[in-house]
Amino acid sequence: MAKEKDKQEEIDETQATAEEMPVEGDQASAEREALINQLKEAEAKIVEYKDGWARSQAEFQNYKKRIERDNELMYASMKGDIIKKVLPALDDLERALQNRPADDAWASGIELIARKLQNMLDGEGLKRIEAKGMAFDPNFHEAISHEPNDEVESEHVIDVVQNGYMLGERVIRPAMVRVAQ
């Protein structure tokens, strides 16, 4: 901004100097007109170059933002893909714990491992989709059966066969559910 002001003052001084030149005839007047025209052309080029530079800067900033957004999306997608590969192991551990013998030290160790794995995934932002008793939503649930049920309202989840998970706002795996008719 200060540079622009300095250049404008310099241009104004040049114009004032050109206007204050004594009239020595047609040649001096023609030279003065030529200098004024050159100055005006230079001013026009300055404005043109400044606008081009500002556009280039804006385009570059937009490019940087787009690259950052694309990188974040790619990171989230890769993270989701890796977590999706780990979920079957977590499912197996949960199934094993549902059928574990009472007061078995070995089963308690398996439970500890399952909790550690779940805590790691929670730390990465993974959330379990709550489904049991909820209204069926195809965005979050995958129905494997429709069954008559007197205890649960129609089009609500009776039971969860396989847990579903979300990573942030993205569904990594929908919950496989049984739905009441």
Residue 168 lies in a domain: yes
Which pair of structure tokens corresponds to residue 173? Answer: 């795996």
The reported pLDDT for the residue numbered 111 is 86
- The mean of the pLDDT values for the chain is 86
CB count within 10 Å of CB 160 equals: 19
Q: Is residue 132 part of a domain?
A: yes
- Whether residue 165 contacts residue 129, with contact meaning beta carbons closer than 8 Å, is answered with yes
Please say whether the beta carbons of 135 and 180 come within 8 A: no
Answer whether residue 76 is part of any domain: no
Which amino acid is it at 104?
D
H/E stretch holding 94: helix 26-98
Count of CB atoms situated within 10 Å of the CB of 142: 15
Q: Tell me what pLDDT residue 172 has.
A: 92
Q: What is residue 97's predicted lDDT score, i.e. its pLDDT?
A: 86
The CATH number linked to 160 is 2.30.22.10
Q: Is 41 exposed, middle or buried (0-12, 13-18, 19+ CB in 10 A)?
A: exposed
In a domain, 143, yes or no: yes
Contact in structure between 153 and 178 (CB atoms under 8 Å): no
What tens digit of pLDDT does each residue of 45-58 get? Answer: 999 999 999 999 99
Average pLDDT over every residue of 162-181? 91
Asked, for residue 101, whether it belongs to a domain, the answer is no
Q: What's the confidence (pLDDT) of residue 1?
A: 55
* Residue 33 is assigned to a structural domain of this protein: no
Q: State the Cα–Cα distance between residues 181 and 154, nearest whole angstrom.
A: 5
Range of the domain at 141: 127-181
Helix axes 26-98, 2-20, angle to 10 degrees: 170
Tally the domains of the chain. 1
Specify the length of the chain in residues.
181
Residue 26 lies in a domain: no
31: in domain: no
The tokens 């008719």 sit on which residue?
181
Reported as type and span, the H/E element at residue 44 is: helix 26-98
